[in-house]
Amino acid sequence: MTVLPYADALAAYDPVLGLEVHVELNTTSKMFCGCSTAFGAEPNTQVCPVCLGLPGSLPAVNAKAVESAIRIGLALNCTIAEWCRFARKNYFYPDMPKNYQISQYDEPIAYDGWTEVVLDGEIYRIGIERAHMEEDTGKSLHVGGATGRIHGADYSLLDYNRSGVPLIEIVTKPVEGTGAKAPEVARAYVTMLRDLLRTLGVSDVRMEQGSLRCDANVSLRPVGRSTFGTRTETKNVNSLRSVERAVRYEITRQAAILASGGRVTQETRHWHEDSGITTPGRNKETAEDYRYFPEPDLVPIAPSREWVEELHATLPEPPTARLKRVRAEWGFSELEMRDVVSAGAVNAIEATVAAGATPQSARKWWLTEIARHANEEGVDLEAVGVTPQQVAEIQALVENGTINDKLARQVFEGVIAGEGSPAEVVTARKLAIVSDEGALAAAVNEAINANPDIVDKIKSGKVQATGALIGSVMKQMRGQADAARVREMILEKIG
Amino acid sequence: MTLAEAPNAETIRQTAVDLATKIKSGELSAVEVTRSHLDRIAEVDGEIHAFLYVDGERALASAARVDAKIAAGEPVGPLAGVPLALKDILTYTGAPTTCGSKILEGWLPPYDATVTRRLLDHDMVILGKTNLDEFAMGSSTENSAYGPTRNPWDTSRIPGGSGGGSAAAVAAFEAPLAIGTDTGGSIRQPAAVTGTVGVKPTYGGSSRYGLVALASSLDQPGPCARSVLDAALLHQVIAGHDPCDSTSIDQPVPDVVTAARSADVSRMKIGVVTELGGEGYAPGVEQRFNEAVELLASLGAEIIEVSCPHFVYALPTYYLILPAECSSNLAKFDAMRFGLRVGDDGFASAEQVMAATREAGFGAEVKRRIIIGTYALSSGYYEAYYGQAQKVRTLISRDFDQAFSQADVLVSPSTPITAFKIGEKVDDPLAMYRNDLCTIPSNLAGNASASFPVGLAPEDGLPVGFQVMAPPLADDRLYRVGGALEAALHSAWNGPLLDRLPDPGALR
Amino acid sequence: MALTAEDVANLARLARIELSEAELEVLAPQLDVILESVARVSDVAAQDIPPTSHALPLTNVFREDELRASLSREQVLAGAPAAEQMRFRVPKILGEEA
Ligand SMILES: [Mg+2]
Ligand SMILES: [Zn+2]
C-alpha cells in the first residue's frame, strides 16, 4: 500500500474528520434485561431469554441507562429530545441474537451539541451531531485458520455476556479546519471524552476492555475546496494512540490515491494495531439496508423538563474550565499542563493527587516511568497496570526514605509485573534503603581504603570528587542507600 | 351419536365455572377432571388434531397438587384445578414450543410466558399445547407444519386460524378453556367458525412476554371458552400489568366477571358498523347477525348505525404492518442459538447456513410475509408503505373514537363467511386474508373485541360469530353484551349451541 | 410496480432465505398481487396525519437498574445446535475484516 509522506499530504489536502464513539455504560444491569454487565465473567453466564433473543422475550428499558444518556447529552451541550423512540436496525450477524439491534435512528435522545478540546494550548470546538442509546452485541472467538482472526477461521464460538450491555453512540459533526493537527485533535477529542465520561461516572471507559470504542471517519479535499471528499470509516481503533495513528495513516493513504489521480472508495476499513495500517472491510457491493423502523416492543421516551433539569444539576464542570482550574491548583506551568493533557494524564494525576501525592510528583511518574511503559507496550496510560493509588504509595515510600527515585523504578516494574502492592514489591525484591549505620559505615570505610587517590583529591579541596566515592558505596549497597547520608558520612570520615 | 351420549360426557360437558365449584367443594377431584379430558383427547384428537403436544403426566401431577391444596384448606385461584389448553406460541418450560413451525421443532424454552405463569400461579392445569398456523400466520390452521386441525362441526372444514387448535379443542370438549392469541382475529375468527367464545383484550391488557411475537404492535393473548362467564374468569386470571412487557397497561383489569354475570344491555347503545356487511358476506351470516341485533334490541339496547369509512383500508394496512414487524421479529430464527440448523457441513458460512435453514424451516406463507415485510421496510419504500400504514392506523382509530362517541359498543359479524373446506383457499392468499376483514380493525386500533356464537347459518348448518367491539380498557362491555346474548339464545335454543355438535368421538 | 423474480431474489437475500428458482417463479406473481392490493394505503392518509403505533399512548416505561437472575449455563446452551467451550458454536462468519 503506497502512502504519501504526511507533510506532502497536508500540503495538498485538507482533512475532515468524523468521530463515532461507542461507550458502554457502567450500569449494574443490561439495557433491556436484568443480567449483569460485569466484565470478565465466564462465557454465557450473564445471559437470559431477553439478551439471548429467545423467542417470546421482550425488552424493558433500564432507567439508569436513560439517565446516563441524558447526562452525557447535557455534558456535550446537546438538546435533549422532548420525545424520542427506539428503533430496530435490522441486519443478520451471529453476534447479534435478534438479528436486529435496538438502537435509535431519526429520533436520538440527544442532538446538536458541542464540546471543546485543548491541544497545544489551542481550543478546538467540536460539534456533536447526536448521542443515542443502543445495545452491545455478543463476542465471537474465531477458531482455526492461521491467525485466529475472523478471516480464514473454520468456525466461531459465541459468548453473549456483552449482548445487551447499554451503549451510547456519540457522533461528531464533520470536524474541519484542524489541518495537520487532525490526528492529534482526534486523539485529544477521544481523550477529552474519556475523561468527561469518567468524571460523569457513567462508564468505566476502558478502551482495552472495549468499554470505549472509536470509529474514525476521514476524508480529504484539496486545500481551498469546501465540498467534502469521499470518506472512509475506520473501525476497531481501540486505544488513544491508535486513534491518532489510524487517522494519520488514512490521511497518507487517501492522499496517495488522490495524488495519483485515483478515487477514494467509500468503505469501512479495519485498523491493524500491529502493522499500523488499515485494510478494507467487507465489500459494500451488497450494501446493507438496515430497514429501520420504530421498535414496537417499547414505548416512546419523553423526559420531563424537571427530570432534565435535575440531571443538569448533577453535571461536573466543563472540561476546559476544569483544565484551567486544575492547572491553577497544581501550580503547573502552561507547558507542563500541555504535556499532561496531550499524554491524557489529567484524570490519572487528579486521582494520584487525591491519593496523597504532590501534583509535581504525580506528574513526574505518569509522564516518565508510566508513559515509558505505555509507549513500549503501545497501550494507554490506564492500561499499564499501575493505579493512581499505587503511584501515590510509591511516592510516599520515596518521601519517607524507604526507597529513592531509582529504586522506585524497580518498584514500578514489580507492580506492573503483578508482584503485588508497592510495599510488597519492596519487601519481596529487598529494595528498602539500608538505614543500618554500621553497614553503611563499613561500606564507607571500604570505599575510602580502596581509593586513596580520590581521598587525597578531596582533602586537597576537590570536593566534587566525593561523587566517585558515593558511587562506590552505592554500588556496594546495590543502590539501597540514601546518597545524601553517604556523602555526609564520607565527608565526616575524611574530615 | 351426539355428544351427550359420549363417554365422560358428564364431566367434559360442564362449564369451567361449574368444574371449579365442584373441585373446590370436593364433589369432583382435579385429577378426575384432568383425566376425563385427557381421555377425551385420546379419543378424538386423532381426528381433530387440536393438540401438538399433550402433557398428560405433568397435568395429572399438577391436578393432584391442586387437590392436595384444597384438601389442606389452602387458598386457591377461582379456576383452581380446571384444565386448559395453551396455544403453542406461548412458552411453557418443559414442553416444546414449536409455533407450528419446523424451524422450532423440539425447542424447549427455558422460561415461562407471563400468561403461562399466571395460569400456574392460579392453580390451573395445562393439558398441552394446541395447533396453529405457523407463527400464527393464517386463518385456517392449514399453515401448520404439523398438519391442519379439523373443525369439530365438520371435519372436512377448517377450524379457523391461527388459533384453530385452541378453538377446536374447546369446541370438541377436549378442554373447557384454552388460551389463544389474536393479531388480526386469531382468537375471534376461530371462535366464530367453531361456535365458541373468543375474546381479544385491549392491547396491553394481557402480557405478551413469552408469546412468540408475530406482529408486536398487534399481538394480544386472550381467552377461548364455551361460555361467556368462563371466558371472563379466564380473562381475569391472565390479564393485568406485567413489567416484563413495556406495552402492558398499568391499570386495573376491567371487571369482566361482574359484567358477564350482569349480562345487562338495557339502555346500552349498540352501533352496527355499516362497512362490515353487505357484499361478500354469506346470507346465513347476515341473517344470524341481524337476528342477534334484534334480540339485543328486544333486551332493551338502543341500536344505531355507525359508519367507519376507513375500515375498508384496514386489510391492506394490516398486511403492511404485520409483514413488516414479522420480518424483523422472525429474524432471530437463524440456526445459531436454538432450533433447526440445516447445511452446516463444515464449509458453508454462517450466512449460508442461516439462509438454508430459513428456507427449509419456514413454510410458504411465512416466507411470503417475511419478503413482503422486508420490501415494505426497505429504504425508498418505508414511507410509502410502513409509514403510511401507521397513519392509516390513526384514521381507523379516529373512526373508532367517532363511533364510540355515539355508541357504547360496536357490532358486526365476526367473519364474512362460515368455515370453509380444508384446501379451498390455500393457493389464494388474498382470499384467505379476507377472512379477517371484520376482526382486523380492532387489532389496528388496539381496542377490546370479542366473538360470541349466535347460531348456525341455515344454508350450511355451520356456526356464525357475532363480533362486539368496545373502547380500549372497556373490555367489560364485551361481556355484558355477550352474557345477554348467551342467556337469551340459550333459552331460545333450550341449551348451548354446542349441544348440537355432532360428536367427533363417533367418527372413529 | 411489478415485482420481478430478481427483485424477490434480492429481498430473499436480505431476509436470508435461500429460495429456489421454482419458488421464486411462484412467489413473484403472488407477492405482486398482494403488494398491488396493499398499495392503496399510500394515498389514503394526508401528510399531517400522525402515525399510530399502539392503542394507548404510553411513554416512559422503565425498569430499575437491578439485577435479575440470569439463566444457568446448562439452560443457555441446552437449545444450541452446537456448543463448545461453553459457547455457541456457529459456522464461519464472513466478517467485516478481509
Ligand atoms: Mg450504532
Ligand atoms: Zn439478559
- Closest ligand relative to A137 C-alpha: 1
Q: Looking at the predicted structure, is the pLDDT value of residue C14 above 50?
A: yes
* Partner residues linked to A252 by β-bridges: none
User: How far apart are the C-alpha atoms of C20 and C23, rounded to whole Å?
Assistant: 5
User: Does the structure show a pLDDT above 90 at A430?
Assistant: no
Is residue A489 included in any domain, yes or no?
Answer: yes
Give the whole-angstrom CA distance, residue A88 versus residue B373.
14
pLDDT tens track for A19-42 = 999 999 999 999 999 999 999 999
Grid coordinates representing A381 are 496510560
Domains of chain C: 5-44 (1.10.20)
DSSP lists the bridge partners of residue B409 as B270
Contact A302 C59 (CB under 8 A): yes
Distance set, CA A146 to CA A158, A272, C85 (Å): 19, 16, 20
Residue ending a domain, among A295, A311, A327, is: A311
Last residue of a domain, one of A279, A311, A343: A311
For residue B372, the SS3 value is helix
**What Rg do the C-alpha atoms of chain A give, in angstroms?**
28
Which chains contact A through at least 3 pairs of Cβ atoms less than 8 Å apart?
Answer: B, C
B193 phi, psi to nearest 5 deg: -80, -5
- Please identify which of the residues B22, B87, B102, B425 carries the catalytic annotation: B87
Pick from B140, B189, B468, B185: which is nearest to B322 by CA? B185
The answer on A367 and A229 residing in a single domain is no
Residue of A99, A291, A296 with shortest CB distance to B216: A296
Annotated active-site residue B162? The verdict is yes
Q: What is the pTM of this model?
A: 0.88
Verify that A280 and A404 share a domain, yes or no. no
Domains annotated on chain B, with CATH: 3-263+457-500 (3.90.1300.10)
The C-alpha cell at B263 is 349480562
Q: How many CB pairs under 8 A join A and B?
A: 107
Grid cell locating B67: 387437590
Tell me whether residues A56 and B243 touch, CB distance under 8 A: no
CA distance C21 to chain A (A): 21
Residue type, A3: V
- In B, which residues are within 8 Å of C33 by CB distance? 429-430
Buried b vs exposed e over B344-355: b needs ≥16 C-beta within 10 Å?
Answer: beeebbbbbbbb
Q: Is B393 on the interface with C (CB under 8 A)?
A: yes
**Taking CB atoms and an 8 Å cutoff, what residues of chain C touch A60?**
61-63
CA atoms within 13 A on the CB side of A59: 31
Min CA distance, B272 vs chain C (Å)? 22
Of C35, C61, C71, the CB nearest to B246: C61
Beta bridge partners of A125: A116
In a domain, A184, yes or no: yes
Beta-carbon separation of B336 and A158 below 8 A: yes
Residue A399 is assigned to a structural domain of this protein: yes
The better pLDDT of the pair C25, B225 is held by: B225
Model pLDDT, residue A478:
80
Q: Do A282 and C98 touch (CB under 8 A)?
A: yes
pLDDT in tens, A465-479: 888 888 888 888 888
- State the Cα–Cα distance between residues B123 and A167, nearest whole angstrom: 42
Are residue A461 and residue A348 in the same domain, yes or no? no
Q: How many residues does chain A have?
A: 495
For residue A89, what is the nearest residue in chain B, using CA coordinates? B328
Q: Do B245 and A53 touch (CB under 8 A)?
A: no
Same domain, residue pair A446 and A467? yes
Residues, Cβ < 5 Å to ion ligand 2: A 33, 35, 48, 50-51
Mean pLDDT of C92-97: 70
Q: Which residue has the higher pLDDT, A334 or A19?
A: A19
Interchain CB distance below 8 Å, C93 and A296: no
Q: Among B186, B207, B412, B451, which one carries the catalytic annotation?
A: B186
Contact between chains at A56 and B346 (C-beta distance less than 8 A)? no
CB contact under 8 A, C15 and B370: yes
pLDDT of residue B505: 57
**How far, in Å, is the centroid of ligand 2 from the Cα of B203?**
25
Peptide bond into B162 cis (omega under 30): yes
Do A323 and A291 lie in one domain? The reply is no
Chain B closest-CA separation from residue A38 CA (Å): 22
The residue-averaged pLDDT of C71-93 equals 95
Q: Known catalytic residue: B216? A: no
Q: Which of the ligands is closest to the CA of residue A168? A: 1
Q: In what order do the strands lie in the sheet with C83-84?
A: A139-143, A155-159, C87-91, C83-84
Please list every residue in chain B whose beta carbon sits closer than 8 Å to the beta carbon of residue C19.
Answer: 359, 367
Each residue's pLDDT tens digit, A127-167: 999 999 999 999 999 998 765 566 678 999 999 999 999 99
Nearest chain C residue to B331, by CA: C15
Q: How far apart are CA A76 and CA A112, in angstroms?
A: 9
Residue whose C-alpha is closest to residue B127's, from B35, B12, B232: B35
Q: Are B192 and B411 in contact (CB under 8 A)?
A: no
A-chain residues near C89 (CB < 8 A):
155-158
Would you place residue A218 in the very low, low, confident or very high pLDDT band (cuts 50, 70, 90)? very high
pLDDT value for B5:
59
Rounded to the nearest angstrom, the distance between the alpha carbon of A32 and the centre of ligand 2 is 7
Cα of A49 from ligand 2 centre, angstroms: 6
Here the CATH number for the domain that contains residue A482 is: 1.10.10.410
Distance separating alpha carbons of residues B367 and B271, to the nearest angstrom: 39
| Three-state secondary-structure class, residue B262 | helix
Answer yes or no: do A291 and A184 share one domain. yes
- What pLDDT, on a 0 to 100 scale, did the predictor assign at position A254? 97
Span between the terminal Cα atoms of chain B, in Å: 11
pLDDT at C47: 79
In a shared domain, residues A44 and A89:
yes
How distant, in Å, are the alpha carbons of A98, B339, B417 from that of B190? 31, 28, 12
Domain span holding position A489: 437-494
CA pair distance B220, B324, nearest whole angstrom: 17
Q: B307 catalytic, yes or no?
A: no
Residue A460 lies in a domain: yes
Q: Quick one: B279 exposed, middle or buried, by C-beta within 10 A (0-12, 13-18, 19+)?
A: exposed
State whether A296 and B215 contact (CB < 8 Å). yes
Q: Please give the C-alpha separations between residue A199 and each of A363, B191, B449, in angstroms, as whole numbers.
A: 19, 60, 53
Q: Are A248 and A241 in contact (CB under 8 A)?
A: no
Mutate to test the interface with C, among A299, A306, A308 (most CBs of C within 10 A): A299
Task: Give residue A313 CA to ligand 1 midpoint distance, Å.
Answer: 28
Task: Give the number of domains in chain A.
Answer: 3
Residue A168 — φ and ψ, nearest 5°? -115, 130
Task: Verify that A185 and A287 share a domain, yes or no.
Answer: yes
Q: Quick check: is A412 in a domain?
A: yes
Question: Is residue B442 exposed (0-12), middle (13-18) or buried (19+ Cβ within 10 Å)?
Answer: buried
Residue A366 has pLDDT above 80, yes or no: yes
Helices (H), A58-152: 63-75
**pLDDT tier for residue A285 given thresholds of 50, 70 and 90:** very low
Helix (H) or strand (E) holding A354: helix A346-354
Contact criterion met (CB < 8 Å) for B324 and A293: yes
Residue A330: pLDDT band (50, 70, 90) is very high
Q: Could you give the CA distance from residue B231 to residue A232 in angstroms, rounded to a whole number?
A: 60
Q: Is pLDDT above 50 for C98?
A: no
Cell numbers describing residue A414:
514489580
Residue A42 lies in a domain: yes
Handedness of CA A68, A73, A77, A83 (dihedral sign): negative
Pairwise CA distance, residues A294 & A281, whole Å: 29
* A240 plus A103 within the same structural domain: yes
Q: Over 50: is that where the pLDDT of C97 sits?
A: no
Res. C72: pLDDT tops 90: yes
Q: How far is the CA of A51 from the centre of ligand 2 (A)?
A: 4
Helices (H), B263-413: 283-298, 314-329, 350-361, 364-377, 388-404
Provide CB contacts within 8 A for B358, sequence distance 6+.
B103, B333, B334, B335, C15, C16, C17, C18
SS3 per-residue string spanning B135-171? HHCCCCCCCCCCCCCCECCECCECCCCCCHHHHHHHH
Residue B507 confidence (pLDDT)? 45
Q: Which chains touch C (3 or more CB pairs under 8 A)?
A: A, B
Residues A219 and A323 in one domain: no
DSSP letter at B312? G
Rounded to an integer, what distance in angstroms lies between the CA atom of residue B446 and that of residue B442? Answer: 5
The Cα–Cα gap between A185 and A178 comes to 7
Q: At what angle do helices B30-48 and B164-171 cross, to 10 degrees?
A: 120
Average pLDDT, chain A: 92
Residues of chain B under the 50 pLDDT cut: 1, 507-508
| Ligand 1 midpoint to CA A136 (Å) | 9
Compute the distance between CA of residue B52 and CA of residue B370 in angstroms, rounded to an integer. Answer: 24
Nearby residues of A66 by Cβ (< 8 Å), 6 or more positions away:
A109, A133, A301, A303, C62
Last-in-domain residue among A311, A337, A363: A311
DSSP count for chain A of H helices, then E strands: 17, 15
Q: In C, residues 2-31, which contact A (CB 8 Å cutoff)?
A: 13-14, 16
Cα(C83) to ligand 2 centroid in Å equals 19
The three grid cell numbers given for residue B507, joined into one nine-digit string: 367418527
- One domain for residues A345 and A395: yes
pLDDT of residue A219 exceeding 90, the answer is yes
Q: Which of A52, A100, A293 sits opposite B337 (nearest CB)?
A: A52
Q: Which of B501, B396, B412 is nearest to B445 (CA)?
A: B396
Q: Say whether both A207 and A279 belong to one domain.
A: yes
B310 φ, ψ to 5°?
Answer: -85, -5
State the number of CA atoms in the 13 A half-sphere of A402 facing the CB.
Answer: 17
Report B:300-329 residues touching C (Cβ under 8 A): 310, 313, 316-317, 319-320, 327
- Does residue B115 contact residue B221 with C-beta atoms inside 8 Å? yes
Which residues from A are below 8 Å from C58, CB to CB?
Answer: 299-300
In this prediction, residue A107 carries a pLDDT of: 96
- How much is the pLDDT for B225? 98
Rounded distance, CA B266 to CA B345, Å? 69
User: Which H or E element spans position A454?
Assistant: helix A452-459
How many whole angstroms separate alpha carbon B272 and alpha carbon B467?
10
Subunit contact C70:A36, Cβ cutoff 8 A: yes
In a domain, A432, yes or no: no
Residues in a beta bridge with A277: A272
User: A222-260: per-residue pLDDT in tens?
Assistant: 999 999 999 999 998 989 999 999 999 999 999 999 999
